[in-house]
């Protein structure tokens, strides 16, 4: 399993930085065919944040396994409560997000949104993990 994170994202940098990470993940793990789905789901979250929140700060975590990619959006300021429900019981944004992902869940306080995509990576996760550790060691030395 590999984990990557971006912290303290806000309105000015959220979309660009998460999209770059998604593109890199798709390239590194040979799941380029999934780029459209992953980026569209991320765009849904970005649109929600842009339209329904005042100033926000969110941390973005990505967990990559051989059969899934999981995005976790953890709000430092704000919540995903209105994405999870609305007054009429229908929520188009949530419906589209659920259509794009295999699993969608919210934390109890609605401050965390977790989306999971079932994919088959073509790159050996263990080999990539070792390469990432070597790269991290080289660049942090």
Percentage of the residues of the chain whose pLDDT score is greater than 70: 80
Domains annotated for the chain, with CATH where assigned, are: 2-140 (3.30.565.10)
Higher pLDDT, residue 15 or 77: 15
Mean pLDDT score, 65-84 = 87
Higher pLDDT, 100 or 121: 100
Looking at residue 125, what is its pLDDT? 53
pLDDT in tens, 20-36: 999 999 998 889 999 99
- What is the model's pLDDT at position 140? 54
At residue 17, the pLDDT reads 95
Q: What DSSP string describes 107-120? A: -TTS-EEEEEEE--
Q: What is the pLDDT of residue 115?
A: 95
Q: In what order do the strands lie in the sheet with 68-77?
A: 2-9, 57-65, 68-77, 112-118, 103-106
Enumerate the β-bridge partners of residue 52: none
pLDDT tens for each residue of 105-134: 999 888 999 999 998 876 555 555 555 655
Which spans in the chain are helix H? Answer: 14-28, 35-52, 81-84, 92-100, 125-140
């Amino acid at each position: 399993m590999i984990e990557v994170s971006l912290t303290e994202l806000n309105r000015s940098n959220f979309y660009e930085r998460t999209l770059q990470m998604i593109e890199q993940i798709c390239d590194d793990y040979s799941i380029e065919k999934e780029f459209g789905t992953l980026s569209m789901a991320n765009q849904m979250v970005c649109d929600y944040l842009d339209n329904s929140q005042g100033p926000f700060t969110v941390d973005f975590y990505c967990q990559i396994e051989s059969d899934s990619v999981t995005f976790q959006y953890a709000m430092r300021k704000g919540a995903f409560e209105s994405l999870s429900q609305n007054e009429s019981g229908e929520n188009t944004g949530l419906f589209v997000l659920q259509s794009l992902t295999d699993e969608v869940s919210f934390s109890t306080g609605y401050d965390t949104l977790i989306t999971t995509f079932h994919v088959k990576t073509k790159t050996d996760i263990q080999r990539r993990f070792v390469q990432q550790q070597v790269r991290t060691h080289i660049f942090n030395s």
